[in-house]
Amino acid sequence: MRFSNAFLDEIRDRVPISDVIGKRVSWDRKKTNQSRGDFWACCPFHGEKSPSFHCEDRKGRYHCFGCGVSGDHFRFLTDLDGMSFPEAVQQIADLAGVAMPQPDVEAEKRDRQRASLQDVMEMATQFFQDQLQTAGGAKARAYLRDRGLTGRTIETFRLGYAPESRNALKEYLATKGVAKEQIEACGLVVHGPDIPVSYDRFRDRIMFPILSAREKVIAFGGRAMSPDAPAKYLNSNETELFHKGNVLYNFARARRAMGGADGAGTIIAVEGYMDVIALHQAGIENAVAPLGTALTENQLDLLWKLAQQPILCFDGDGAGIRAANRAVDLALPHLKPGRSVRFALLPDGKDPDDLVRNDGRGPFDKVLASARSLSEMVWTREVQSANFDTPEKRAELEATLKQVVSVIADENVRRHYGQDIRDRLNGFFQGSNRQQSGQRNFERGQSAGRGGRGGQAGRNNSFSQRESGGVSDRLARSSLVTGGQSLPVLRESVLALTIVNHPQLLFEEYDEISAIDFDNRDLQRFWSSVLNTAAAKGPRLSRDGLMEQLEADGFGTLLKTLDQQIRFARLWTASAEAAPEDAREGYLQALSLHKRTKALLWQRRELEMELGHATEEGDLESVDQILRTLQEVQLEVTRLENQEAIIDGFGVLSGRVKGPAGK
């Protein structure tokens, strides 16, 4: 039977290789470091008295430095116990608690197709590498040289150049016998029913091959050479090989470095391709990067597979601080004992490339050494830019902090975060004059905000320059903000106001966006007016025209209220000043959150009805099962209600207003 790579990877990831091998060997206590998943023993394949057999959970591999044997979970069982490969897979699947897959002809066909597509991607990589060395690649070589990259580094990362041609790659692959369908399936050309002749997706760009965990080329990132290009960085589209949210740039190479001579104890996530490459050249090889967008839960899980406490490194400007705060909220629900993250904030205006280019790795090592804990990031975000000179404001701060940490799923971690908050609050307010304490906090907020982009002046400075990823719905709806008025939940305000400020988004996905179901009654009437105006004006609808009609329909006060709510929450992508691509990204994230929350609330209502019926019928077994499911749903509802990951990104898109950004 043929097993898919995805299935084999899944069961390998679920079972530490030390659990498999540990049944047949005795680990050496002196050389083994169990907390790091690093094990040594006398080799079971040949007789020896000193341990030279090494196994590493992080890599899922073993190697004997005496006899040279090496392999993974399955190889160990087939070589040592003489099992067939399917028998070895069955045993690991049993340990993982995963059912064996049934024979699937279509899945096997997809696997063969995937292998074929990887061959095509390898051809494309070689083409781009060759083009970099031609006369047409001169400006790309000059750019890489100006960025301080050596020939060895360029070769290590297999950097290349896509020529300024609509069909250079397509024609090259065709001469190699690659079918049109395969070229399209790899995402190497732009094609579709409305495009008469497909054309190369990447043109006049420096090319960064993106590798899978198995070190196969699955996608590309392209950096535009022309300053007039619509997108500075362009990634491959989603394909059978490539799912952007599940991949980290340089993951396989960084994983190898984790077990290298330096003994790198953690993994570092930076923002861009060039950051990773510059750090590697400076000797810091355990760095990865998301692919130009917000760090996802799947990518965070990948980091945790490599290290218990990965370091997330952000630029020191306002966009970097916002992205860091978004990552705080992404990580909080998933914390467990021994699993957290730390945050390294770079000097304002500097990125990793800047730090290491002239002075080597020393300055960057200092930044890593001063990385902040997650709990410190939570605390700093909430207290650094407001004064707490009244009991009401201090109570509001306490309530906000409790709500922030309430999303932590693990009970023990949540309890310790609660204790940490109480200790910090006691120290923060103890023994200081209220007004003096408030003034110090205000000054601290102003100082922290000076690095932000496009900040406001005057009395709003302490809030607008805080550069946090947002505030909770609870705080945004509180009397401190609204003066006692009842506002829509923040995600509904984001959805409504983004369309008003960027009405072109409505016509891109009209059917889905027009069907949004708002809970707030004022927004229901407001949305009806928006859709009526859009239907009358069509794609020519402008922001000014829509605003004028909404005010004529009596929604002027609501518009001002929504704008105030959004600006207080610093959800800048909903504002008129946001670049269209950032508004679109923020809107899609908010829409996804909205749909997921609505689905969970519907599921909760259904479960509550089932619970009532089961209780009336005295079906205690069903009652217990429904209660467990209901608790899980409620936990997810709470997590989403508190989630701040609506707008700001982790990668090069974050912080951009009215123009290109990134490195």
Q: Residue 105 — very low, low, confident or very high, per pLDDT cuts 50/70/90?
A: low
Q: Residue 654 — very low, low, confident or very high, per pLDDT cuts 50/70/90?
A: very low
Given a cut of 90, whether residue 260 has pLDDT beyond it is no
Strongest mean pLDDT among 26-35, 263-272, 519-528: 26-35
Cα–Cα dist 469/380, whole Å:
12
Given a cut of 70, whether residue 137 has pLDDT beyond it is yes
- The answer to whether residues 323 and 302 touch, using CB atoms and an 8 Å cutoff, is no
What length is written for the chain? 663
- The answer to whether residues 444 and 385 touch, using CB atoms and an 8 Å cutoff, is yes
pLDDT at residue 662, as a whole number: 39
Sign for the pseudo-dihedral over CA of 263, 267, 273, 275: negative
pLDDT at residue 198, as a whole number: 93
Structure tokens at 530: 């928006």
pLDDT at residue 1, as a whole number: 58
Torsion of CA 217, 220, 225, 226, to 10 degrees: 160
Residues pairing with 38 in the sheet:
33, 56
Residues pairing with 223 in the sheet:
206, 233
For residues 577-600, give the mean pLDDT.
Answer: 81
Start-to-end Cα distance in the chain = 47
Instruction: Give the Å distances, CA to CA, from 409 to 332, 336, 358, 412, 628.
Output: 8, 8, 44, 9, 14
Strongest mean pLDDT among 174-188, 435-449, 587-601: 174-188
Q: Detail the DSSP E strand segments found in 225-264.
A: 233-235
pLDDT at residue 249, as a whole number: 96
pLDDT at residue 516, as a whole number: 82
- The answer to whether residues 421 and 405 touch, using CB atoms and an 8 Å cutoff, is yes
Cα–Cα dist 431/369, whole Å:
32
Contacts of 146 (CB under 8 A, 6+ apart): none
- Which of 464, 514, 512, 518 has the alpha carbon at shortest distance from 494? 518
Q: Are strands 342-345 and 311-314 parallel, antiparallel or unpaired?
A: parallel
Q: Residue 643 — very low, low, confident or very high, per pLDDT cuts 50/70/90?
A: low
Instruction: Give the Å distances, CA to CA, from 344 to 79, 153, 364, 566.
Output: 44, 25, 10, 28
pLDDT at residue 112, as a whole number: 64
Cα–Cα dist 516/563, whole Å:
20
Given a cut of 80, whether residue 471 has pLDDT beyond it is no
Structure tokens at 598: 């609505």
- The answer to whether residues 593 and 498 touch, using CB atoms and an 8 Å cutoff, is no
Cα–Cα dist 339/161, whole Å:
40
Q: Residue 449 — very low, low, confident or very high, per pLDDT cuts 50/70/90?
A: very low
Q: Are strands 311-314 and 268-269 parallel, antiparallel or unpaired?
A: parallel
For residues 584-589, give the mean pLDDT.
Answer: 83
Backbone angles phi, psi at 62, to 5 degrees: -130, 160
Q: What is the DSSP letter of 103?
A: P
Q: Residue 259 — very low, low, confident or very high, per pLDDT cuts 50/70/90?
A: low
Q: Residue 442 — very low, low, confident or very high, per pLDDT cuts 50/70/90?
A: very low
For residues 344-370, give the mean pLDDT.
Answer: 86
- DSSP per-residue codes, 223-271: EESSTT-S-SEEEPPP-SS--GGG--BTHHHHHHHHTSTT---S-EE-S
For residues 37-63, give the mean pLDDT.
Answer: 88
Of 247-256, 358-367, 380-389, 636-645, the one with minimum mean pLDDT is 636-645
What's the mean pLDDT when you consider all of the chain? 81
Of 101-105, 261-265, 463-467, 604-608, the one with minimum mean pLDDT is 463-467
For residues 371-391, give the mean pLDDT.
Answer: 86
- DSSP per-residue codes, 50-89: S--EEEETTTTEEEETTT--EE-HHHHHHHHH---HHHHH
Q: Residue 631 — very low, low, confident or very high, per pLDDT cuts 50/70/90?
A: confident
Cα–Cα dist 539/508, whole Å:
9
Of 160-164, 255-259, 335-339, the one with minimum mean pLDDT is 255-259
Cα–Cα dist 304/293, whole Å:
19
Compute the radius of gyration of the chain from its Cα atoms.
Answer: 27
Q: Residue 109 — very low, low, confident or very high, per pLDDT cuts 50/70/90?
A: low
Cα–Cα dist 565/325, whole Å:
19
Strongest mean pLDDT among 272-276, 516-520, 650-654: 272-276
Instruction: Give the Å distances, CA to CA, from 611 to 628, 629, 637.
Output: 11, 10, 18
Question: Which pTM was predicted?
Answer: 0.56
Is pLDDT larger for residue 112 or for residue 533?
A: 533
3-state SS, residue 160: strand
- The answer to whether residues 598 and 582 touch, using CB atoms and an 8 Å cutoff, is no
pLDDT per residue over 483-528, tens digit each?
334 567 888 888 899 999 998 888 776 766 777 878 788 888 898 8
Sign for the pseudo-dihedral over CA of 169, 170, 172, 178: positive
- Which of 590, 603, 565, 585 has the alpha carbon at shortest distance from 654? 585
Token look-up 């990823």 returns 469
Contacts of 359 (CB under 8 A, 6+ apart): none
Cα–Cα dist 79/69, whole Å:
10
pLDDT per residue over 404-424, tens digit each?
999 999 999 999 999 999 988
CA 220 to chain centre: 18
For residues 100-122, give the mean pLDDT.
Answer: 75
Given a cut of 60, whether residue 35 has pLDDT beyond it is yes
Q: Residue 262 — very low, low, confident or very high, per pLDDT cuts 50/70/90?
A: very low
Token look-up 């066909």 returns 109
Cα–Cα dist 647/586, whole Å:
4
pLDDT at residue 663, as a whole number: 40
Is pLDDT larger for residue 403 or for residue 642?
A: 403
Of 265-279, 514-528, 598-612, the one with minimum mean pLDDT is 598-612
Tally: H helices and E strands in the chain: 30, 15
pLDDT at residue 455, as a whole number: 38
- The answer to whether residues 503 and 541 touch, using CB atoms and an 8 Å cutoff, is yes
- The answer to whether residues 253 and 157 touch, using CB atoms and an 8 Å cutoff, is no
- The answer to whether residues 409 and 635 touch, using CB atoms and an 8 Å cutoff, is yes
